[in-house]
C-alpha cells in the first residue's frame, strides 16, 4: 500500500515540512486547500474577531475545502500535517477528516508551530474519525531534519 502526506499550510512552513516528509517516505503529497485562502488579517491571533480567532473559538466551525479527487483506498497510512493554532489543529483539518472515509486507516500527525507541542490536537481530531482508526501524535517538524532522520522518525 502507498503512503499519503496530506497537509494544510497557511503561510508555507508546514508545506515545506510536508514536501520533505513526502520525499523521505516516498509518499504521495496532497494539499488540503481552503476554498477561501487565509489572508494575513484572517491569521491575526491578536484580533479576537479575525477569521482564525472566530473559527478556533467555535468547535463546530468547518471551513470549506476545495474538493479534489482523492482515492484513499490506495493508502493504509495517512500523515496529516498542519500549523498548530491555539494549541490544536486548525478547524480545516476537521473538515478534511469528516470529508473522507478513514475507516481501516492509520493516521499519523505532524505539525509546525511557534514552539507549542500538539496540545489537545489529537484528542480533538479523534472525534472526527471512526473509533477504530488510530490517530498517532507524530512529531513537530520545526527543526531541519535530513531525509534519513525523517525516515527514522516516521517510518
Ligand atoms: C491563528 C494562529 C494561531 C497560532 N497558535 C499557535 C500556538 O498556539 N502555538 C504555537 O506555538 N504557534 C502558534 N501559531 C504559529 C504557527 O503554528 C506557526 O507559525 C506555523 O509554523 C505556521 O505554519 P504555516 O506556515 O504552515 O501556516 C499560530 C499561528 C496562527 C496564524
The model carries a pTM of 0.98
Per-residue pLDDT of the chain (155 residues; tens, 9 = 90+): 799 999 999 999 999 999 999 999 999 999 999 999 999 999 999 999 999 999 999 999 999 999 998 999 999 999 999 999 999 999 999 999 999 999 999 999 999 999 999 999 999 999 999 999 999 999 999 999 999 999 999 98
| Residue nearest to ligand 1 atom 18, measured at CA | 113
| Residue nearest to ligand 1 atom 10, measured at CA | 114
Radius of gyration of the chain (CA): 15
| Residue nearest to ligand 1 atom 8, measured at CA | 86
Residues with Cβ within 8 Å of 3's Cβ and at least 6 positions away in sequence, in order, are 25, 26, 27, 28, 75, 76, 77, 78, 79
Residue at grid coordinates 488579517 = 41
d(CA 118, CA 131): 20
CA-nearest of 110, 151, 147, 109 to 128 is 109
Residue 95: which H helix or E strand, with range?
A: helix 91-99
SS3 readout for 47-59: CCCCHHHHHHHCC
Asked if residue 142 has its Cβ within 6 Å of ligand 1, the reply is no
Tally: H helices and E strands in the chain = 5, 5
Amino acid at each position: 500500500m502507498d503512503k499519503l502526506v496530506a497537509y494544510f499550510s497557511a503561510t508555507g512552513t508546514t508545506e515545506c515540512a510536508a514536501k520533505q516528509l513526502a520525499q523521505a517516505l516516498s509518499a504521495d503529497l496532497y494539499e488540503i486547500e481552503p476554498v477561501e485562502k487565509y489572508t494575513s488579517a484572517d491569521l491575526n491571533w491578536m484580533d479576537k474577531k479575525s477569521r482564525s480567532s472566530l473559527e478556533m473559538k467555535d468547535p463546530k466551525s468547518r471551513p470549506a475545502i476545495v474538493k479534489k479527487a482523492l482515492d484513499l483506498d490506495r493508502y493504509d497510512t495517512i500523515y496529516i500535517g498542519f500549523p498548530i493554532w491555539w494549541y490544536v489543529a486548525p478547524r480545516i483539518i476537521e473538515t478534511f477528516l469528516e470529508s473522507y472515509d478513514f475507516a481501516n486507516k492509520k493516521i499519523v500527525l505532524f505539525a509546525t508551530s511557534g514552539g507549542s507541542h500538539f496540545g489537545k490536537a489529537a484528542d480533538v481530531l479523534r472525534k472526527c474519525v471512526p473509533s477504530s482508526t488510530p490517530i498517532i501524535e507524530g512529531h513537530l517538524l520545526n527543526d531541519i531534519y535530513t531525509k534519513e532522520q525523517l525516515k527514522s522518525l516516521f517510518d
